[in-house]
A and B are shown apart, each in its own frame.
Chain A
């Protein structure tokens, strides 16, 4: 087994891993990052080719159980209402994400105080606000400042994506209803910005952006971090975090040739996402930590949140050019975002208006199978022609409350290509989410009706919607009730950190990348600011 040393070893080169590596290398630390996958192959981004729709879900499949690439690990979702989606490679989820960009609102951090459920975060919107601004700069976010769904403050650096005919149509309808809406925020650049090019509105953002317009950390963070000396090792699957007593000493990993290596480090930072991180910490159990590392609270792997997802499409007589457009979102609304006791549920959802893509996608059963217009046989031509370009869709992200019975554990019968146990999910969509979704779906239908849609189509609950993986190593002030402190430092092992979406206390009802990026900056900043691992500390052995 080879052994080498670093100041910091980061596990996972996704959203949090990329941002953390870039921040820590800029501060002069020697960072090794271990990533089980490789770099995304943008030659497989086929937006400009006639075969796009036929090939898109092959290389860019979202479910690791379908993709089954060497870098993937199996996720047993038999007992889960939702299956987990992810990209295991440099860039992580940002390679696949549709880049809808939303900060959480101040109230999202205060769910217990406002609604009497779940917990408050040990930090506030105001704490994160400067980090949101910085994350938006780093990822070249496009959008418009001044959204009344948030406190006033600085907005993103790039102007919003074009509203297009569909956005205009729905904005007018929401104005008629007196409902809030705002230009869509997207981690998609609308002009030449640092390493990003302007978006060309293909509507293929989740299957490889061929322009380099969508901000994923393989583009926005890793090249600069590597230039500054970050040692990113791909095809390096971490098998366990090594500990001595209550100190992490480094990690062990296996390379693609099956060779085992060790990296010793002063600090270990987990950025392997809401499933990968608890999986590794559970795999790292020792006789001193029999239930996994950093698990004296018993909460490691619990409180999994995945954001139940809803889709409502409208079909219009007019051509609204909905086959393309940034995807992403043209506009968004948070009109029903805050709790209203009269509705019979707590919390809310955000809706984003998006295109629906090319013709092959419109023949698929989700959500189109719910249409009373049959697709096949003598109806084929009329149905397809009536949908193509005529069908904007609201995608609904609903707040998911944390429950300890929603868990990530180790699979007893599935293993990855290196023989390590896969993850196992147990997750049910709760009653609050169901009521919340019913209400929001009904309002979304109403909005299409007011806009003059000929038909509305409501997608049924869909399993393949676990795009957001949160909560499985919750942060908090009380070590008996949380895994890390508010800066992501494990209570039990003070030089083990978790900077990914595992630490979320609640999920908010918006897409998570903005908050995840801000949290990675906030945690990295605290890591450096508190002198936990400054160069001097390292040399004198006085690290935290």
Chain B
């Protein structure tokens, strides 16, 4: 096709931005190529692995199957947006480090953004519920247990509750 471009305005990690975007681009393409947010990974690119997951208006979406032009007017948050202004890790990131929930790290940004959506509901989920909420991510390294613990620990900590693993 002859190239078709569109000006897309949105908020990325709290900052109002705009860019001319190829209408054929996925949101992953836009975030990586135009905004250099390389925490957004290209895994399967068909919505199955969650490596490209970001928050759009607070909800988790696989950005590989989301058109970049749909970002118009929306607020997008990626892992880069979790760092404090001084560059310190957020509680959930630190929990991933503490629990050794990371090996190669390819699935980590996606997992953490889903964890952010979960934690922001301020609910205390059962293990079964938590497993279901995390089921949209594939990890080929860790075996999931430490990831599960990192999210569960952070959920309990935020609620001021002691954990009973």
**Do A and B share a complex?**
no
